[in-house]
Chain A
Amino acid sequence: MTEAAVQAPHSEYGLWSWLTTVDAKRIGVLYGVTAGIFFLIGGVEALFMRTQLMYPDNTFLSADTFNGLFTVHGVTMIFLFLMPMNAAFFNFMIPLQIGARDVAFPRLNAFSYWVYLLGGLLLVSSFVVGAIPKVGWTGYSNLSSSFFTPGIATNFYVVGLLVLGTSSMAAAINFITTIINMRAPGMTPLRMPIFTWTALVTNFLLLLALPPIAVALGQVLFDRTFGTSLHVPSGGGSATLWQHLFWVFGHPEVYILILPPMGMVSDILPTFSRKPLFGFSAMVYATVAIGFLGFGVWAHHMFTVGMGAWGAAIFSAITMLIAIPTGVKIFNWIFTIIGGQFRMTTAALFAAAFIPLFTLAGLTGIMHSSPPIDWQHHDSYFVVAHFHYVLVAGSVVGIFGGIYYWFPKVTGRMLSETLGKLHFWTFMIGINLTFFPMHFLGVDGMPRRVYTYQTGFNFDTWNFWVTIGAYITGASMLILIFNIFKSLKSGAVAGPDPWDARTLEWSISSPPPEYNFVELPQVTARDDFWHRKYELKNFQPQPDNQQVHMPPPSYWPLITALGLGVFFTGFVFEWYVLPFIGAPITLIAVFCWSFEEFEM
């Protein structure tokens, strides 16, 4: 029955239907699967590094390979896993949560995905051609100049990020338009689910933070390709310029990675506590405040550069301010659980675990807002511990909560709770054993990004246990993968509303029909589905298998993305014929695209 529910006008099967799809749900699945594969690649890279660091003076990896691995690990996890995984949830959930049939620009949506995929393949191809970038995920100048990193390896970093930025920019325009303009009747801003709110703020951050990094990457590309010196001190440029422009993007980027999981947690906890989110409006304002403040704190990543007492004091103070809206959020989550009838499902466990884990990440974060402490911790494992608590114990744990919560909606089948809990506990042990001792290593002075250490610095024991923790984390991931495949095959059928949830996506069948809603819902309250179920008591399930006119599939987004891919690949391999082939392909594809009828 769940399979049959997908029967909609042009929902066909086979490769071609996926290549030409403009359905946000299918694109969301594509995003999710691709990001999941990159997550595994990034994880394996991490396991290689941890194996090298398991013992002092280890020779498992060379220094050179290690440099490549930590660069690609960072880039993969941030740009190829976390951001697109968030985009997967945006694609699937935003239209459902706001009561829309699709996103505002379905074809632009497909374009975003294809550009992301090509950018990811471009970055991974650096392994194939044996030219792995070794500049760190921050790509500082003038290490990234052609003097210090000659050859094409650094081009993969520079151009790869430009391509991925293009994808995120297109997606950001699309999602912002969708949330502002495609809401169901009555879905006023303060009635929107909190995940949609975090998605809105996240996409505004992307929209406004990507241009500075795009320009900076363009400058580095010009430095490397056309001999300019914009980031090269010997030619009159400034090496500090890159750091500033990078972090003007890089700090909002942190919130780009953590806000959507915060939104997931904020949707999961009320469902499993059977009460509304505590302080909903405060949560919304806190999200917006974090978004705004996030643009004013970039230089706290650069305290060690030196910026004088005033510069350091101002950035330090604004950074500390961010603790206020973050604290509001933490209290709201706690008070959502307190007094509710908490159900210990796997999704709820991940969401609840997010609270203390993220608090810990925030605590070490606020320590770094003080310049003297930051100088002490800079480039040590303490910083590595801090941002892995933000991104793994925060973002990834939140996303796992989201996966357990929404998997039934996406596939129509339940994930196994037994395996889920096994995954939860092994993952908790794994990540905490991996990342918590890194605090000690950092305070003891172990520098990050160095391929080995000598014995006798008190680093040996903790490094051993950190590596064991990494293996446990890796093993725990296998449980999740097994759980997903097992459930796809033989999981219990979910039905439309397996969790007795609150928001609109649960009011339609699982998986939802291509058109989502036969009749756009008339929203009268926050948590409208719950309101209709329990307060108005007039909820009627929507009929399935209806004929609703939806935008037809299109291959132009794919061809446009391919053109762009050819264009940028030329800059990676310094083969300047390709841009002249790629540009016309892109132009012609955009032209043909614009002659298809505009839908939605």
Chain B
Amino acid sequence: MSTDSQTQEHHAGDISHPTPKTYAIIAVILSVVTAIELWVYYIEELRSLLIPILAVLSTGKFALVVMFYMHLKFDHKVFSRLLVLGIILAFGTFLALLTLFKFSHPFGLL
């Protein structure tokens, strides 16, 4: 929001985006993590830990795509703020709603 950034013209190509090599590494990581998710899914012994493990792995995938493929790591921080705003609000609202439906409504799902 500084005044000096107002004077310069901006094109999408100006920012030093990662190289195709970085993109490829991310793609490999994404594939590997998906494979691990599948593996965890089929291991009966890990059933009790399935949700936390998968939650962490998926969040990792989510973060990688957002940071590198969507360039949030390199782009103007207003974009990150917008996404975070949406995610926090969605997460907070719907977690609250699930909690209400689970514990508070005396007639359950009616």
**A residues engaging B (CB < 8 A)?**
180, 185-186, 188-189, 204, 208, 212, 233, 237-240, 244, 248, 295-296, 299, 305-308, 310-311
Contact = CB atoms under 8 A, between A and B. Distances in A.
A311 B104 contact: yes
9 contacts: A189-B1, A208-B85, A208-B89, A233-B109, A238-B110, A240-B110, A244-B97, A295-B92, A307-B100
B110 A233 contact: yes
Interface of B: 1, 3, 6, 78, 85-86, 89, 92-93, 96-97, 100-101, 103-107, 109-110
A106 B15 CA distance: 28
> Which of B3, B78, B100, B106 has most chain A Cβ within 10 Å?
B100
B1 A238 contact: no
Given A180-B78, A295-B92, 14 more contacts: A185-B6, A186-B3, A188-B3, A189-B1, A233-B110, A240-B105, A240-B109, A248-B97, A296-B92, A299-B100, A305-B105, A306-B106, A310-B103, A311-B104
Taking chain A's interface residues, is the majority helix, strand, or loop, or is none over half, making it mixed?
helix
Contacts of B85: 204, 208
A307 B3 CA distance: 50
Contacts of B104: 307-308, 310-311
A186 B97 CA distance: 43
Contacts of A305: 105
A207 to B, nearest CB: 9
Nearest to A233: B110
Given A180-B78, A240-B110, A306-B107, A248 B6 contact: no
A65 B107 CA distance: 33
Contacts of B103: 308, 310-311
Contacts of B89: 208, 295
A212 B6 CA distance: 36
A208 B110 contact: no
B105 to A, nearest CB: 6
B100 A239 contact: no
A185 B92 CA distance: 37
Nearest to A211: B90
A239 B78 CA distance: 39
Nearest to A295: B89
B100 A311 contact: yes
Nearest to B110: A233
Contacts of A237: 109
Nearest to A186: B3
B1 A185 contact: no
A306 B105 contact: yes
Contacts of A180: 78
B93 A248 contact: yes
Contacts of A296: 92, 96
Contacts of B93: 212, 248, 295
B95 to A, nearest CB: 12
Nearest to B89: A208
Nearest to A204: B85
A296 B91 CA distance: 12
> Which of B6, B78, B105, B107 has most chain A Cβ within 10 Å?
B105
Contacts of A311: 100, 103-104
A307 B1 contact: no
Contact of A188 (B1, B92, B100, B106): B1
B3 A239 contact: no
A200 B78 CA distance: 15
B102 to A, nearest CB: 11
Nearest to B2: A188
Contacts of B96: 296
B56 to A, nearest CB: 27
Given A188-B1, A189-B1, A295-B89, A308 B110 contact: no
Contacts of A239: 110
A239 B110 CA distance: 6
A238 B100 contact: no
Nearest to A244: B97
A189 B81 CA distance: 16
Contacts of B106: 306, 308
Given A208-B89, A305-B105, A185 B3 contact: yes
Contacts of B6: 185
B47 to A, nearest CB: 27
A305 B106 CA distance: 9
Contacts of B109: 233, 237-238, 240
A244 B100 contact: yes
A189 B107 CA distance: 48
A83 B3 CA distance: 34
Contacts of B105: 240, 305-308
Nearest to B103: A308
B11 to A, nearest CB: 14
Nearest to B107: A306
B48 to A, nearest CB: 28
Contacts of B100: 244, 299, 307, 311
A186 B101 CA distance: 49
Nearest to B97: A244
A256 to B, nearest CB: 15
A240 B102 CA distance: 13
A317 to B, nearest CB: 14
A267 to B, nearest CB: 22
> Which of B1, B6, B104, B110 has most chain A Cβ within 10 Å?
B104
